[in-house]
């Protein structure tokens, strides 16, 4: 077997001690009957893997058993893990070539790489879409597992075994990606239709009641016919309700479109009103300026009129004085004429 290459000095992996399996076996799993509290109820259809796990960060132990996992690919290889101290050198995890298998869990729709050396689990790596398997030589490959906080390395007896393992890794990785996308699509669809869940739940309950009524109707032919007719009518009603709900959804969408159009028109009218208000404000400012100018002119005219009245008054007073003087002169002349 070819020796594993060392990691480059630039490689940096956050290696922490987390939960690790410390003992593994296989057994049939049972649970106590919650009703009788006496009898045993099978929890697995066949013997399954049962493991002790130790979590050094929490200083706790767990017993874990998963039913539904099946091996889909198996090979043999020497197993290595990266040295947590140097982060460069490889540390053998097995003394000899051991079985390395891909497992598929149909209940969780997930994939794992598992390898057991005797009673010790040396690889328990769940494959995610962001993992990458890298061939570092003709017979050695590696991948990083952030959940296990380590880097696994496998040394194979031939280049062909390495190629098959790498191809299976890519295949399983794509399958995990598709499973995640399907789960995301399902989540999105659930969120979109959440507003109709209550009505759909009522329809489901009605369907359950219909099924119960059909089961009871099997006891009598006449009773079966009567219940069948009633069920058909209720089914028709449910279909009408579904059609009504679809129509309501269509009306809601149309109403949203109308509201959007009205909002656009309101915004446009508000802009027009704002423009007209600005124009009116400018016109008012101009009018106020003209009124102020006219008031100034009127004030100046009043001042000039007052000054002219004063001058006219002075002129009248002067004229009256002159008239009195002429009158006195006329009287003097008249006296002189009489004397002559």
Which residues, at least 6 apart from 115, have a Cβ–Cβ distance to it below 8 Å?
79, 94, 98, 99, 100, 101, 121, 122, 123
Q: What is the length of the chain? A: 340
Q: What is the pLDDT of residues 61-101, one digit of tens each?
A: 878 765 567 788 999 999 999 998 888 899 999 889 999 99
pLDDT for 19-35, tens place per residue? 566 787 878 888 887 87
For tokens 């969120």, name the residue.
191
Residue whose C-alpha is closest to residue 165's, from 76, 71, 46: 76
User: Is the pLDDT confidence value at 195 over 80?
Assistant: no
* Percent of the chain residues past pLDDT 70, beyond the cut: 86
User: Which tokens belong to 124?
Assistant: 């328990």
- Quick one: average pLDDT of 220-239? 82
Q: Compute the average pLDDT of residues 227-238.
A: 87
DSSP 26-50: EE--EEE-TTTSSSEEES-SS-EEE
Interval 124-170: pLDDT, tens: 999 999 999 999 999 999 999 988 889 999 999 999 999 999 999 99
Does residue 10 have a pLDDT over 70? no
Please identify which residue in the block is written with the tokens 């059909």. Answer: 214
Q: Reply yes or no on whether the pLDDT at 218 is more than 70.
A: no
Instruction: For residue 108, give the nearest of 69, 145, 147 by alpha carbon.
Output: 69
The predicted structure's pLDDT at residue 111: 92
Measured CA to CA, the distance from residue 255 to residue 249 in angstroms comes to 10
Q: Residue 66: its pLDDT value, please?
A: 57
187-191, 205-209, 239-243, 322-326: range with lowest mean pLDDT: 187-191
- What confidence score (pLDDT) does residue 67 get? 59
* Average pLDDT value for the chain: 82
* CA distance to 21, 128, 132, 301, per residue, from 104 (Å): 19, 13, 18, 106
Orientation angle between helical segments 197-217 and 221-339, nearest 10 degrees: 160
Residue 208's pLDDT is 79
Q: For the residues 269-278, what does the mean pLDDT come to?
A: 91
């Amino acid at each position: 077997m070819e020796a594993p290459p060392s990691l480059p000095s630039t490689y940096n992996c956050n290696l922490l001690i987390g939960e690790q399996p410390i003992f593994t076996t296989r057994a049939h799993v049972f649970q106590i009957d919650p009703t009788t509290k006496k009898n045993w109820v099978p929890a697995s259809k066949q013997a399954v893997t049962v493991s002790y796990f130790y979590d050094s960060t929490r200083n706790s132990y767990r017993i874990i058993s998963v039913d539904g996992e099946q091996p889909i690919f198996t090979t043999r290889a020497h197993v290595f893990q990266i040295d947590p101290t140097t982060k460069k050198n490889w540390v053998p995890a097995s003394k000899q070539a051991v079985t390395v298998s891909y497992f598929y869990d149909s209940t969780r729709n997930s994939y794992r790489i598992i390898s057991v050396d005797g009673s010790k689990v040396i690889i328990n790596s769940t494959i995610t879409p962001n993992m990458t398997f890298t061939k570092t030589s003709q017979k050695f490959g590696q991948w990083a597992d952030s959940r296990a906080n380590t880097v696994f390395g496998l040394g194979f007896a031939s280049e062909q075994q390495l190629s098959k393992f790498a191809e299976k890794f890519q295949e399983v990785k794509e399958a995990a990606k598709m499973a995640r996308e399907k789960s995301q699509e399902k989540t999105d669809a659930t969120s979109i239709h959440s507003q109709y869940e209550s009505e759909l739940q009522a329809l489901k309950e009605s369907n359950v009641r219909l099924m119960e009524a059909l089961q009871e109707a099997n006891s009598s032919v006449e009773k079966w016919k009567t219940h069948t007719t009633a069920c058909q009518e209720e089914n028709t009603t449910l279909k009408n309700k579904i059609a009504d709900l679809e129509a309501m959804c269509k009306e809601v969408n149309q109403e949203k479109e109308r509201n959007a159009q009205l909002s656009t028109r309101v915004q446009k009218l508000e802009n027009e009103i704002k423009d007209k208000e600005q124009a009116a404000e400018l016109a008012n400012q101009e009018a106020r300026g003209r009124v102020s100018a006219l008031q100034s002119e009127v004030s100046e005219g009043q001042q000039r009129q007052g000054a002219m009245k004063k001058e006219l008054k002075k002129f009248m007073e002067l004229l009256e004085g002159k008239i009195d003087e002429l009158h006195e002169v006329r009287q003097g002349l008249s006296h002189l004429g009489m004397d002559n």
